[in-house]
Structure 1
């Protein structure tokens, strides 16, 4: 990185932090601090909701996902527009009428306090882990690529977020996220334009898409019912809808974004804005990754994009084998480039040659990955051999001009900060309102605001601690969604029981939720150890169905007198 890149990077991040702190300091009551004074317009809500979901993981992992597997991952988001419609029709009117601070307050009105507390704790567990991962994700990759100290990066990202989130609460999160999304969109559009400009002069946009298609990267839809394939139309529509319903309807990190709206209409418009724009945005980010793939058909890529992994294997007893793979890949690159040039001049040619050469290249990359793992084991080192998360950052650092490298790094870190800020804000709100408030008696508004700030600080420190001990999964964006899928289905089922199953009482739901969570965790572990084949997206659907079924069975077998089923204002 050059001096100009450092100026752009540091200047962008400090501007966001300082602006968010100055604009939102001095909240006098809980409503101002936790709900932003209910002043947010629909476009602020929409951008804030998008920024919360679009973490640094999105901009690091998604292009790498497309580079390796093509556009099929976009199917993961197909359930999102459906979920937005349901939430606007069912969730928002109820939350607005009850004037809740958290989604879980509603559950005490409908069931009882222990159900509310259990659901809040499930949220705190999964979102607390996710907050650490959203800090860790960019830190581990930037540290590997740039040589920055990992622990220091974790602390810097966490502290920057804590400063303005503690100071301004929900309003600070919303205000800064608007500017962060501007930085993010600007950076990704510039990256796309530069990728295309770096292709050979005779490669038009149409030809680039044809090359990607010939390499199997433009296969968007998969209507198969193959459970070996994580991302299909059906898993996206069914599992994705249940995941998005739970995430946007019951996860406080998202619910808090739209609870800050001026009215129910502003909240609904904000979510519909997200529903209309989110899928195209993800399609575009994936397409950027596909264009990076096309770029590397004309410019030789490394065998493995993780420089730390390459360094480890080249300084081990496996160095000669790895160098042989590198030499073989160089020869293969020349052969593949010739085949791509022939295809681009005559697209009617058979694509079988390109497919065969891509398969050979994938095989070489897999051999390299195995050697990296062996080298790491020999040295007792934890080395990330799967390089999906390093593809886009490698392209940025090696191909973008001065200044723009700093901007793209600012995109990644801004995304990390925006998601982490939402999570800390939601964790503090849930802890304050759902766990603390009812156990300490009546407190003044000033005392509650101070308490919320202290909880924000505590959760920020805990998130930094999680980031410092975290380990990479196969792909970061999958890791976050896996954590969510373990809990979300159960939580969504509890809310659906509250909305639509009026005969079910509190004790039945509480017991069913406990049983369901153990079952879902067991299914996940069985899948991890390959005793069953169950893609994680289906856990959302399964968890939801199980908790509803068990609660209805318990209630049917033992009807009890319970709380009045009518939802009352709090």
Structure 2
């Protein structure tokens, strides 16, 4: 541990400044509408940077370099799927939600299929956000633990509570503006780190390329068609589906579509905010590979316990703490910490919006006053924050936070996208057809998720899913869509025959 007074001053000063900035929007959050949608007066670049920052949270800053250090660039294929999702979002999703004009992404599903669809998908979304918050809280604790030696569990608890207060004070306006600023700071910090590694490694940049090439660290993964491994094709198809879900039915994104001034500005923000993630994620993978080359050339400078693959997420925080110049360490960790805080506050704000719009207002028989709505938003924010803290503590001993997050997201979100695609692209879909698709999809998702854990011994092992965990959302979505479509076609044919008789 290296505890430098200048780092501590920079860290605490930066954290105080960004917290005060986010909290300064408190005076503009006196109504539930202001808390969830703001004033619809955000500049295009701010909303775009906020969408980008939703991608590039501390999960990216810590887990992507850790993943590249541990293996190769296979996970970068996820980023290559973004142009497909971005184009579809601009073409179909943004106009759809601007037309529906609801603060919730799930109102549209009730229009198409009834209340059950809205409840199912919103519940899946809330579970996904809690898992996401827990992952980020854990990753935030790593550099702070390395820098100051504070207990990881304690850091997770304190951070979670601080973010809870911050999200209550800032509302969506504090979230979006802070996201934009942190996105810029994170990119700058990452560029500085990479430059510092390339300058200080023996042999310079050419040594990084030589060492990494020898170990095949630039590989995008196998191009085989094996569905049980994270091949290039498995990660690519996973990325397409998970990013379609992000743009199509993730409350974090839909709120930003609605917070934009016009539909045109919302489209531009969605498109460029997503595409910006590609070069930035590439930057993080280069950092991870450069770190591998750095500690291969200077193995004595990496502690033995961090050479274990299970500790790969901690290598970059260790480098930041022990190798960067004094002052820069505190600033970089503060930017990671604050970016994580803003990302978590996004999840808190959007989760509270979903609970208010899709549950409280939807099912309360009497008219909901704005004072009651504000209370629900605050109470939900507290509950969601506490659940995120619990998940963060549970993730302390995982091998790779990135893999854990991707698998959890794939499981909990597997049914959301399929139902949304049915609603958006199949005009003649019936409610019974949608229900049939959902039932088939849930059964498939349960088998894909649980069978590898349950059927571990022979002869039952043959009943375990042969598919990689990333494919859960892919297969679940396809089954829901195909079964729902065919069931609706059959139902419509049955009606036609009855009319003919």
Deviation at 1:472, TM superposition (A): 3.5
Residue in structure 2 matched with residue 543 of structure 1 by the alignment: 476
Pairing 1:424-503 to 2, within 5 Å after superposition:
424-440=348-364, 441-503=366-428
Deviation at 1:231, TM superposition (A): 4.0
Residue in structure 1 matched with residue 291 of structure 2 by the alignment: 292
Residue in structure 2 matched with residue 83 of structure 1 by the alignment: 85
Q: 1:515 and 1:49, CA in 2 relative to 1: closer, same or farther beyond 3 A? A: same
Deviation at 1:510, TM superposition (A): 3.1
The 1-side partners of 2:252 and 2:140 are apart by: 20
CA contact (8 A) 1:66 1:289 kept: yes
| Per-residue CA distance 1:392-426 (angstroms, 9 max, x = gap) | 11222221121122122213312321221111111
The 2-side partners of 1:438 and 1:208 are apart by: 57
Pairing 1:41-80 to 2, within 5 Å after superposition:
41-80=43-82
| Per-residue CA distance 1:260-313 (angstroms, 9 max, x = gap) | 111111111111112321111111110011111121132115776646xxxxxx
| Per-residue CA distance 1:536-560 (angstroms, 9 max, x = gap) | 2222221111111222343344459
1:522 maps to 2:425: no
CA contact (8 A) 1:184 1:414 kept: no
TM-score in terms of structure 1 length: 0.80
Residue in structure 2 matched with residue 406 of structure 1 by the alignment: 330
TM-score in terms of structure 2 length: 0.90
Residue in structure 1 matched with residue 178 of structure 2 by the alignment: 176
When the two structures are aligned, how many residues end up with a matched partner?
484
Residue in structure 2 matched with residue 246 of structure 1 by the alignment: 245
Q: 1:498 and 1:33, CA in 2 relative to 1: closer, same or farther beyond 3 A? A: same
Mark the structure with the bigger radius of gyration.
1
The 1-side partners of 2:258 and 2:192 are apart by: 33
Q: 1:306 and 1:422, CA in 2 relative to 1: closer, same or farther beyond 3 A? A: farther
Which SS does the other structure have where 1:386 is aligned?
A: helix
The 2-side partners of 1:426 and 1:514 are apart by: 27
Structure 1, unaligned stretches of length 5 or more? 308-364, 370-384, 563-570
Which SS does the other structure have where 2:299 is aligned?
A: coil
Which SS does the other structure have where 1:226 is aligned?
A: coil
Q: 1:390 and 1:297, CA in 2 relative to 1: closer, same or farther beyond 3 A? A: same
Q: 1:306 and 1:104, CA in 2 relative to 1: closer, same or farther beyond 3 A? A: farther
Q: 1:225 and 1:278, CA in 2 relative to 1: closer, same or farther beyond 3 A? A: same
Residue in structure 1 matched with residue 225 of structure 2 by the alignment: 225
CA contact (8 A) 1:115 1:506 kept: no
Deviation at 1:140, TM superposition (A): 5.3
Deviation at 1:515, TM superposition (A): 3.7
CA contact (8 A) 2:86 2:271 kept: yes
Deviation at 1:147, TM superposition (A): 2.9
Structure 2, unaligned stretches of length 5 or more? 496-501
RMSD: 2.4
Pairing 1:66-465 to 2, within 5 Å after superposition:
66-139=68-141, 142-143=144-145, 146-200=148-202, 203-220=203-220, 222-232=222-232, 234-301=233-300, 306=305, 386-440=310-364, 441-465=366-390
Which SS does the other structure have where 1:139 is aligned?
A: helix
Which SS does the other structure have where 1:522 is aligned?
A: helix
Deviation at 1:500, TM superposition (A): 1.5
Which SS does the other structure have where 2:28 is aligned?
A: coil
Deviation at 1:238, TM superposition (A): 2.2
Q: 1:301 and 1:45, CA in 2 relative to 1: closer, same or farther beyond 3 A? A: farther
Residue in structure 2 matched with residue 326 of structure 1 by the alignment: none
The 2-side partners of 1:80 and 1:42 are apart by: 20
Residue in structure 1 matched with residue 499 of structure 2 by the alignment: none
CA contact (8 A) 1:235 1:538 kept: yes
